[in-house]
Amino acid sequence: MGYGIKLHVWGDRACFTRPEMKAERVSYDVMTPSAARGILEAIHWKPAIRWVVDRIHVLNEISFDSVRRNEVESKVSAAQIKSAMNGRDAILNQIAPAERQQRMTVMLRDVAYVIEAHFEMTSSAGESDNPEKHYSIFSRRARGGQSYHQPYFGCREFPVNFSLLEDGDEIPLSYYRGNVGLDLQWMLWDLEYGEEISPKFFRATMRQGIIDVPDLYKREARL
Amino acid sequence: MTDMEVRDNVMEQEEGSTVIPTINRHEFTIFFDVTNGNPNGDPDMGNMPRIDPETGHGIVTDVCLKRKVRNYVEITREQGEGHRIYVTEGAVLNEQHRKAYRSLREEDVDKFKELKPKDRAEASLLTHWMCDNFYDVRTFGAVMTTKVNCGQVRGPVQFTFARSIDPIFSQETTITRQAVTQEGADKDREMGRKHIVPYGLYRMDGYVSGHLAEKTHFGPEDLELLWESLENMFEHDRSASRGQMALRKLIVFQHETKLGNAPAHKLFERISARKITDAPSRSYADYEISVNSEDLPNGVTVIER
């Protein structure tokens, strides 16, 4: 380790969709490690590194809000695009009123977290890659508000504001600081991208507003 | 190889020496207002204007505004080359559209075959083709069905929920119609309801990523069209329910680099809007919008349009 970072992130809304409630999206109570990784990767990532989320601090009270929106049902198929590309007849448009679905999103409001994370070098690391370099790039970007793309809380309509907590900076006080323990049940840890994409879960417990995240890449979670 | 490397390789093969102009990072804020209309109905509340139940502020969803941008491009560019709209509102009336897609030239078709449908490379080719033909795919992204993960396009332009500056007041007006829908009904008129907001000024913040723009081939002209659509989207969206809606201000923060030169939230904090009268607001004149452009971070330019 040694190259740990702390990133303070906040925003008006968030939706960390539970995989079992995706048609009508319902958010987890807190940010998933997978979403936290997505935020870090939006700021800096290269195939040479792998972000590992160690701890998530929940700063604000957990509260929900809901919105129902008109959405569409289907996606265009690859075969259709291919035949259109080759000049054959194909309709690629989605006609919104014909496939309208009204779907609910139960989202979090007014969220703020501190992500504690570090990265590890992967087998794709080349000769010019070393931890120092990637740590510097990340810190510089996070400090200057730079990002590859604007990070978001689960869905792109919920942007993330971020600032780097430097060594010696205090972690903002959590609403749950006096809380001895809150069982958040099984939560998505991350997706494993192998031949098939498979989800991995962990048992999340929040103590004093802090969720310790295991590195399931290294260790399969057992009860 | 990772997805990204595959994608980059394919782009090189595909484009050869052509250089596609790129754009830097941008943030933007729009202010729009509604007078005696319903900017965005809530399907859960019988089509009342969307309201944040805790604060009373009005909400207009991201997708509502994206719809208007798509409609504007559809109307003004008439589904022309490179400006087709993937998620359309009306049925595709003209069957000719099908044949109008810019099909690949002969040599490209050969190259396409040479690529040996290694699934990822092929998916990436399909994705790029969609980006080049459809303005909304290039701008907002889209999810397309392919076996592999590359069927998903993340567009450079990110919209958020718009929110009113002050709590809004939603008023229900009852209307009558001097005709009845069903035959044989023992009445000679029907009553209906309309929800209106007497006045509301809304703000939406948005983001444009230079890096994602490069990936979807979203160039300077596309960006200009985005500003044009934002400025004019309400002009082509008149209806009985909308009342009078207008874009009041578009403020753009332009960065000098792709990565950006300052945190987005600090730029957005430079913009403030406040009511300058005591009475309930009924017009844009009741508000004052100010942009603090003093001591801007290096490499950031503010453009007010």
Instruction: Dump pLDDT digits (tens) for A201-217.
Output: 999 999 999 999 998 88
Of the candidates B43, B91, B207, the beta carbon closest to that of A150 is on: B207
* Pair type for strands B190-208 and B271-275: unpaired
Instruction: Report the complex ipTM.
Output: 0.89
Task: Give the list of residues 6+ apart from residue B42 with CB closer than 8 angstroms, or none.
Answer: A67, A68, B48, B49, B50, B51
> How far is A202 from A184, CA to CA, in rounded Å?
10
Which residue of A lies nearest to B61 if distances are taken between CA atoms? A69
Size of interface A-B (CB pairs under 8 A): 155
Alpha helices in B83-219 (DSSP H): 96-100, 106-114, 119-133, 135-140, 210-216
What DSSP character marks residue A99?
G
Q: What is the pTM of this model?
A: 0.88
Residues A124-130 have a mean pLDDT of 87
Q: For position B150, what pLDDT does the model report?
A: 56
CB atoms within 10 A of CB A166: 11
Q: Over the stretch A15-62, which tens digit does the pLDDT of each residue have? A: 999 999 988 999 999 999 999 999 999 999 999 999 999 999 999 999
Q: For position B4, what pLDDT does the model report?
A: 46
Q: For position A22, what pLDDT does the model report?
A: 87
CB atoms within 10 A of CB B148: 17
Contact B165, B212 (CB under 8 A): no
Mutate to test the interface with A, among B60, B140, B144 (most CBs of A within 10 A): B144
Cβ of B211 within 8 Å of Cβ of A85? The answer is no
Q: Over the stretch B65-93, which tens digit does the pLDDT of each residue have? A: 999 999 999 899 877 788 888 887 765 54
Cβ of A13 within 8 Å of Cβ of B161? The answer is yes
Contact A201, A187 (CB under 8 A): yes
Of the candidates A98, A150, A161, the beta carbon closest to that of B158 is on: A150
> How far is A30 from A39, CA to CA, in rounded Å?
14
Q: For position A83, what pLDDT does the model report?
A: 76
CA-based angle B223:B255:B154, to the nearest 5?
A: 50
Of the candidates B85, B145, B262, the beta carbon closest to that of A145 is on: B262
* Pair type for strands B87-88 and A94-95: parallel
Cβ of A66 within 8 Å of Cβ of B209? The answer is no
Of the candidates B5, B98, B212, the beta carbon closest to that of A91 is on: B98
Cβ of B109 within 8 Å of Cβ of A86? The answer is yes
Of the candidates B59, B101, B259, the beta carbon closest to that of A141 is on: B259
Does the CA dihedral A7-A13-A15-A21 come out positive or negative? positive
Task: Give the list of residues 6+ apart from residue B240 with CB closer than 8 angstroms, or none.
Answer: B194
Residues of chain B with pLDDT under 50: 1-17, 93-97, 99-100, 105-107, 110-111, 113-117
**Residues of chain A found within 8 Å of residue B61, distances taken between Cβ atoms:** 67, 69, 157
As a whole number, the mean pLDDT across chain A is: 90
Closest CA–CA distance from residue B79 to any residue of chain A (Å): 11
Cβ of B97 within 8 Å of Cβ of A75? The answer is no
Of the candidates A96, A104, A148, the beta carbon closest to that of B87 is on: A96
**Residues of chain B found within 8 Å of residue A156, distances taken between Cβ atoms:** 154, 158
Q: Over the stretch A164-193, which tens digit does the pLDDT of each residue have? A: 999 889 999 999 999 999 999 999 999 987
Cβ of A78 within 8 Å of Cβ of B143? The answer is no
Q: For position B7, what pLDDT does the model report?
A: 43
What DSSP character marks residue B231?
H
Q: For position B177, what pLDDT does the model report?
A: 87
Kindly tell me if the per-residue pLDDT of A102 is higher than 60: yes
For A50, phi then psi, to 5°, come to -130, 120
Mutate to test the interface with B, among A146, A152, A195 (most CBs of B within 10 A): A146
> How far is B301 from A167, CA to CA, in rounded Å?
32
Cα-trace Rg, chain A: 20
**Residues of chain A found within 8 Å of residue B259, distances taken between Cβ atoms:** 141, 146-148
Does the CA dihedral B13-B18-B19-B21 come out positive or negative? negative
Which residues partner with A51 through β-bridges? A119
Closest CA–CA distance from residue A219 to any residue of chain B (Å): 24
